[in-house]
Structures are given as C-alpha cells and as structure tokens.
Amino acid sequence: MTFSDIAVLVTDIHKNHFNLTLDSEMPVLVVDGLTGSKSFLQYISNSAQFRGIKEVKIFRVDYRQNFILGRFQMYGDKADILISIDENNCWSRYVAAKEMSHIIIDKTQESMTTDIARTITWILKQGMDTNIHASLDSEHIAAQFAAELLVPYYISKPMLENPDLTSYQIAAHFGVPERIIDTFRDPGYSELRDEAYRDI
C-alpha cells in the first residue's frame, strides 16, 4: 500500500463515513451509546470486507508499561486491542487507531503474525518506534494510516502552515501525540503528503 493508496482510502472514510467538513470535530475512534455518532470502529464493524471482523473491543490495561504501548490480537471474527493505562488520551487514540488500521490494511496471510519470537527479534534489532516516515512495511503503513486518519489532510493543512499555532495546540485539537504534528510539519514529509493527496 503506497502513501497515495492510504490517502485515497482515508479520504473516502473522512468524506463518506464521517462526513467531515472543514469545521468538523476530530474523527472519533470509539463511541458507545451515542445515537447518530460516527466512529472508526463502527466503520470497521460495518465493513465485512475487512477480514470478516464482526467485533472489536479496546481495553485500557493496567500493567507496568516500559516497552509496549499496546497490542492487537485477532481470533477469527473478533479482535481485541490492549492499550497501556499509562498512556494519555492522545497516545491512546493513536495506538488504538494504528492497531485498528491493521484490520483494514493487512489483507494477506503473510501480514498476519503469530511467530512472536521473530517479531520480537526484529523489534529489538530495529528499535522500531512510532516513526511514520520509515519504510512502508505493515507496521509503518498502519502507523501512517492512523496518523492520516486522525489528522485529516484538508482540515489540518491550513493549521500546519499557520506559524501562530504551536504543534502542541494542533495536536490537542486533533487529539494526537505532538510527535505526529512535528512530523507533518517537516518540509520533506509535508511535500510527500501534498503529493499523495494532490489528485484527490
């Protein structure tokens, strides 16, 4: 999946599921019991094409977190996402969005992981983190997809280009980690982003 593919899919979700406009609130990931509200979870649950997932539950888990912010587990038609209780709301949203994105982007058997030993060896060797400007394997595509989902291009662009707004203020507006906004403001990344959305 290329950056342009991500841009097309995310824009479709923003326009046709969330009905986002320039004045819209930030995209909500999970909402329970609020009639008429749209969420990304609802989008996944309503879209049987995504690996046949019928139920996704997200939990804040109380463990001593040092190295793992969250994890995703899929059992047949159900998926659980576990997030550290120590994370603030912005990080929780980003971790949840990234893990939920796997349901959409991982379409082949090869992208599914149960060989945890190999995964951990790779993580410890690579020092994988939340860098969304890295080579586009499944993990980084998910990270990039999550960032694009939570910070809609057309709404964020004028804010990102406004020197009077700090990255913290923009991050707070969209409910994402400040690190994401800093990346979006990087001239090199900004150029790639403009290119990805150019014809949409």
Partner 1 sequence: MEQNTHIVSEEAKFNSWLSSEKKKGLVDIKLYPNNTSTASKESFYAELNAMNTAFQNGRYEEIKYL
The least CB distance from residue 174 to partner 1, in Å, is 13
The least CB distance from residue 158 to partner 1, in Å, is 26
Phi and psi dihedrals of 31, rounded to 5?
Answer: -145, 140
Both tokens of 104, joined, read 């959409």
Query: Considering beta carbons, is residue 109 or 198 the nearer one to partner 1?
Result: 109
The least CB distance from residue 18 to partner 1, in Å, is 15
Query: Considering beta carbons, is residue 128 or 160 the nearer one to partner 1?
Result: 128
Place of tokens 């790639």: 192
Query: Considering beta carbons, is residue 23 or 62 the nearer one to partner 1?
Result: 62
The least CB distance from residue 106 to partner 1, in Å, is 7
The least CB distance from residue 39 to partner 1, in Å, is 8
CA-closest candidate to residue 147, choices 15, 6, 53: 6
Q: What is the DSSP letter of 14?
A: I
- How much is the CA Rg of the chain, to the nearest whole Å? 16
Q: Which residues bind partner 1 (CB under 8 A)?
A: 28-33, 57-76, 82-83, 85, 89, 92-93, 95-96, 98-99, 102, 106, 112-114, 116-117, 119-121, 123-124, 127-130, 139
Query: Considering beta carbons, is residue 71 or 133 the nearer one to partner 1?
Result: 71
The answer to whether the beta carbons of residues 101 and 41 sit under 8 Å apart is no
Both tokens of 178, joined, read 């400040």
138/111 Cα distance (integer angstroms): 7
